[in-house]
Amino acid sequence: MNTASRAPAPRRLPPEERERTIVDGAVALARESGIDTLTVRAVAARVGVTPALVAHYRPVMDVFVAEVFGTIVAAERDEVLDDFTPAGGLRASLRRLVETLLDDSREDVALVWVQAWSLGVRNEPLGERVRAEMDLWQSRLEEVIADAASRDPDDSADPAFAAWMLLAMVDGMSAHALVKWAPRDRADLARRTVAAVLDRPEPPASAVTTRTSEERP
């Protein structure tokens, strides 16, 4: 009697479920290592299927890379902006938003963005998706700024200009942080950036700073 054990055969999945596992595996791989690691073989190894199966569901890798990029950055945009509430006025709201986007925990998405800008030069589907996602960030952030400004009698801003400036700063600083070139005090950077895009300057420090008991004479 042959009692030798056999490795279990891969479980057959419905096409929709198999496709979902391939996309999810590619997204996870890109978040861990960047979208430049996305190849048919790498995704297949990650999911535990043959390269031929990956190619069956996603026959054009440039298009698949663009899809994975869009999935990752859209999820971050929805996470940051869907639950955003303009509490505490326009200045405080924007400062909180910038601090959130500059948080170290978002470096995986920052790497995806930086690589997409570079790879999108020659990967046209990716370049097109990058432009679309940047437009969506701009328009969504304009809406957030306009909403916060409408609730705040003390501050105002041009939503289109403010959104462009904030995104340019966040994108630049996020890229710098990947190579460990960034200011130590990101909160101060956020404060100064927000002040630069508002129609009214930041109040002098002496007007908003309360001395501690140790500092009082």
Reported confidence tier of residue 204, pLDDT bands at 50, 70, 90 = low
**pLDDT at 109 (0 to 100):** 97
Would 123 be classed as within a structural domain? yes
- Token readout for 170 is 């966040």
Number of structural domains found in the chain: 2
The rounded distance, in Å, linking the Cα atoms of 173 and 185 is 12
Query: Per-residue DSSP letters for 149-198?
Result: HHT-SS----HHHHHHHHHHHHHHHHHHHHTT-S-S-HHHHHHHHHHHHS
Which pTM was predicted? 0.84
Would 211 be classed as within a structural domain? no
Q: How far is CA 115 from CA 35, 36, 147, 151, 181, in A?
A: 7, 7, 32, 38, 17
Return the amino acid letter for 70.
G
- Is there a single domain that holds both residue 47 and residue 71? no
Q: What is the pLDDT of residues 123-138, one digit of tens each?
A: 999 999 999 999 999 9
Q: How far is CA 82 from CA 76, 102, 108, 139, 161, in A?
A: 10, 18, 20, 13, 21
- Is there a single domain that holds both residue 49 and residue 146? no
